[in-house]
Amino acid sequence: MSKTIIKLEDISKQYRLGVVGTGTLSHDLNRFFAKMMGKEDPTKKVGVSNRLDTVDGQYVWALRDINLEVGEGEVLGIVGKNGAGKSTLLKLLSRVTAPTTGSIKVRGRIASLLEVGTGFHPELTGKENVYLNGAILGMTKREIDSKYEEIIEFSGVKKYAETPVKRYSSGMYVRLAFAVAAHLEPEILIVDEVLAVGDADFQKKAIGKMQSVSRSGRTVLFVSHNLTAVEQLCTKGILMQNGTITLRGGVHDITTAYKKISVNENDLKRSGTGLIRFQEYKMTNLEGQKIDEVFLGEDFIVSTVAKANEPIDYTDLSLDIRNDSNEFVGHITNADDLFEIKKIDKGDTFSVSVTVKNISLAPGTYYISIWLGNSYGTMDYIENCIRFNIKQGDKFILRPYPFDKRAKIVLQSKWNFK
């Protein structure tokens, strides 16, 4: 195992909610008196864990008990939804703010690219800004002197080096700023979403630069919502949810897990009159266990529970199946089986389940939408609420290599030779 470069022990970070203003002084006094009396800081108790939508305390823990070790030369991807605590973690590492509890131990110099061009002054020339920005990022004047030519060359704004940067186009500005940052040589590089700016060319250049940084044995921490970039760059990853690390491991496990939670937790698109509403829905195997994966050719069950808010004469229920590219690939409805759902009293709940037989869609990821309605219109429709994978297996087709990605459905076949 390589040497540990960064070690986080029991790191937590607490933020106060709401506006700093009236009340802050009294809180400060409370803390002060508690400290004088030798009691625990009263505000540390009332914090709620980080759930952005269920906030009832006045303090919130943006990070809670984070323990993490990063080895030398590791390129660690940090993924998680907005508000999961990724940026707070990077802020602590880059010393923009301090943790509430715990300690961070580091070997070597940290440089953070939380945003390129920090401290650029519009009135200064390109050259002056290279020096200023380089110094802000932690380089000495000597280091910048020795790299100046390289930086200017990389940025491609050589002709304008003596022009104030306020006359630059935004593209030139970003290129120059990134060039400075790219020529830092820290042992640890922290990158947060900087690749979101700039055109495709620039992004390619930036990713290439970061790859070469990691190949040279330096440690990189990379936060991004761009999973492709994360998979390209990182070898390991952590998944953050509500201020804690919920999963750590290889980068592909992490991105897969992230895709899963981002479907489950995203606000689902729901429409309809609401005369009947779905209350539960799940996908199970024939034994009734919840699943999110089936082998090609297997059966599975989708079961729903719904409640009528008004008396209903009759309703239909249907499932739409879409693939990863949002193409509509399958449709099932109760009428297919001449099955009827009718005469439901107000306030009644009912459950409907459907067994899908011999699934023959090409292996891949699919989404099921569920619909309740009749000739008067849609009563409840929840889009893409069930996500599942179809795996090739050996039930339906026996070829020992992966199914052709261009094909959308799988046809069973019997071969003869004479």
Binding site for another protein (CB under 8 A): 3, 7, 15-16, 20, 24-25, 28, 91-110, 112, 114-115, 118-119, 121, 123-124, 128, 131-132, 135-138, 140-141, 164
- Nearest-angstrom CA–CA distance, 61 and 283: 35
- Closest contact distance (angstroms) between CB of 88 and another protein is 10
- Nearest-angstrom CA–CA distance, 188 and 109: 6
Nearer to another protein, 11 or 321 (CB): 11
The answer to whether the beta carbons of residues 211 and 220 sit under 8 Å apart is: no
- Nearest-angstrom CA–CA distance, 63 and 10: 10
- Closest contact distance (angstroms) between CB of 55 and another protein is 17
Residue type, 415: W
Of residues 160, 84, 80, 79, the one with CA closest to residue 125: 160
The answer to whether the beta carbons of residues 99 and 92 sit under 8 Å apart is: yes
Nearer to another protein, 11 or 210 (CB): 11
- Closest contact distance (angstroms) between CB of 80 and another protein is 20
Nearer to another protein, 121 or 346 (CB): 121
**Which DSSP letter does residue 290 get?**
B
CB atoms within 10 A of CB 14: 19
Burial letters for 212-237: b for 16+ Cβ neighbours within 10 Å, e otherwise? ebbeeebbbbbbbebbebbeebbebb
Secondary structure class of 169 (helix, strand, coil): coil
- Closest contact distance (angstroms) between CB of 135 and another protein is 4
Nearer to another protein, 112 or 224 (CB): 112
- Closest contact distance (angstroms) between CB of 143 and another protein is 9
Nearer to another protein, 114 or 332 (CB): 114
Of residues 170, 173, 196, 169, the one with CA closest to residue 113: 196
Nearer to another protein, 6 or 344 (CB): 6
- Closest contact distance (angstroms) between CB of 247 and another protein is 25
Record the tokens describing residue 220, joined without a space: 């990189």
- Phi/psi of residue 28, nearest 5 degrees: -60, -40
Secondary structure class of 100 (helix, strand, coil): coil
- The CA radius of gyration of the chain, in Å to the nearest whole number, is 28
Nearer to another protein, 113 or 276 (CB): 113
Record the tokens describing residue 290, joined without a space: 């919840």
Nearer to another protein, 185 or 253 (CB): 185
> Pairing between strand 328-333 and 349-356?
unpaired
- Closest contact distance (angstroms) between CB of 186 and another protein is 11
- Closest contact distance (angstroms) between CB of 351 and another protein is 49
138-139-141-144 Cα dihedral, nearest 10 degrees: -140
- Closest contact distance (angstroms) between CB of 33 and another protein is 18
Nearer to another protein, 103 or 266 (CB): 103
User: Helix, strand, coil proportions of the chain in percent (round to 5)?
Assistant: 30, 35, 35
> Pairing between strand 75-80 and 236-241?
parallel
- Closest contact distance (angstroms) between CB of 91 and another protein is 7
Nearer to another protein, 124 or 207 (CB): 124
